[in-house]
């Protein structure tokens, strides 16, 4: 939480949206507005903005976000993205959490018109095999936990042996 608080203080300071009548050292100790209405304490003149009933919602689909400040922090196997920006409705803080996935081995295999991706990955729950098939723009994926990979491959090994035996017999 201390890292979270500090990153918010950095974003606040870097954005130039300092809270009125507040010393910079106070911003590091307590970020005014985090538990209040969104924007209160962060955005000067926030209370003077029109109520949501008078805002034209038709422009929401065409608005472009202009991200001003972005920060990333890592904790364990997660990344937290903090993006402070503004758009036609005002200022916003977007916080995203992304789980880091460690890719151990990656192979690509083309069979006729199909493209197969085999990725051995690891996340906090363990290792797993991700098998994806791409054909004609569509993609299908299955996930096999590492504990079941040998069980999953047994039928393939069986059919490979049978195909070899039939070739030798012919």
CATH code for the domain of 157:
3.10.450.700
**Residues 37 and 95 reside in one and the same domain:** yes
Q: Domain range spanning residue 30?
A: 2-99
The answer to whether 70 and 61 are in contact (CB under 8 A) is no
How many domains, the chain?
Answer: 2
Looking at the fold, whether 18 and 94 belong to one and the same domain comes out as yes
Domain termination site, one of 67, 99, 131: 99
- In sequence order, what DSSP letters do the residues of 25-81 get, joined into one string? HHHHH--TTSSSSTTTTTSTTGGGSPPGGGS-GGGGGG---EEEEEEEEEETTEEEE
Residues 148 and 136 occupy one common structural domain: yes
For 112, the token pair is: 């006729």
Residue 38, token pair as written in the block? 């969104």
Torsion of CA 155, 159, 165, 170, to 10 degrees: 160
- C-alpha 145/C-alpha 120 separation (Å) is 10
Based on the fold, state whether residues 78 and 14 are members of the same structural domain: yes
Closest CA to 92 of 7, 10, 1, 15: 15
89 and 120 both lie in a single domain: no
Give dist(CA 127, CA 143) in Å, integer. Answer: 10
Residues 39 and 120 in one domain: no
Q: How confident is the model at residue 99 (pLDDT cuts 50, 70, 90)?
A: low
Query: How far is the C-alpha of 170 from the C-alpha of 166, rounded, in Å?
Result: 6
Token output for 9: 């203080």
Does residue 111 share a domain with residue 90? no
Do 140 and 95 reside in the same domain of the chain?
Answer: no
Cβ(121)–Cβ(128) below 8 Å: yes
Residue 141's pLDDT band (boundaries 50, 70, 90)? very high
Q: What angle do CA 106, 111, 113 make, to 5 degrees?
A: 115
Residue 127 and residue 58 share a domain? no
What six digits make up the tokens of 154? 């047994």
User: Do residues 93 and 106 both lie within one domain?
Assistant: no
Domain C-terminal end among 99, 115, 145? 99
Domain co-membership, 76 together with 21: yes
- For 10, residues 6+ apart whose C-beta sits below 8 A from its C-beta are 71
pLDDT at 14: 53
What does the pLDDT average to over 126-130?
86
Split at pLDDT 50, 70, 90, the class of 132 is very high
Question: Do 121 and 94 fall into the same domain?
Answer: no
Confidence (pLDDT) at 51: 37
Is it the case that residue 2 has pLDDT exceeding 50? yes
pLDDT tens for 49-74 read: 443 333 332 222 223 344 467 787 77
pTM of the predicted structure, to 2 decimals:
0.40
């Amino acid at each position: 939480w201390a890292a979270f608080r500090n990153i918010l203080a950095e974003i606040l300071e870097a954005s130039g949206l300092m809270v009125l009548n507040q010393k910079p050292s106070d911003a590091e100790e307590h970020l005014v507005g985090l538990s209040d209405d969104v924007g209160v304490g962060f955005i000067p003149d926030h209370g003077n903005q029109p109520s949501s009933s008078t805002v034209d919602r038709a422009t929401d689909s065409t608005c472009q976000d202009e991200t001003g400040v972005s920060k990333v922090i890592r904790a364990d196997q997660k990344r937290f993205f903090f993006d402070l920006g503004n758009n036609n409705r005002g200022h916003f803080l977007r916080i995203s959490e992304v789980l880091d996935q460690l890719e151990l081995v990656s192979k690509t295999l083309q069979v006729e018109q199909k493209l197969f991706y085999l990725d051995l990955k690891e996340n906090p729950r363990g290792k797993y095999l991700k098998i994806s098939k791409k054909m004609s723009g569509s993609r299908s994926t299955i996930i096999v936990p590492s504990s079941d990979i040998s069980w999953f491959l047994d039928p393939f090994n069986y059919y490979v042996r049978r195909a070899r035996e039939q070739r030798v017999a012919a």
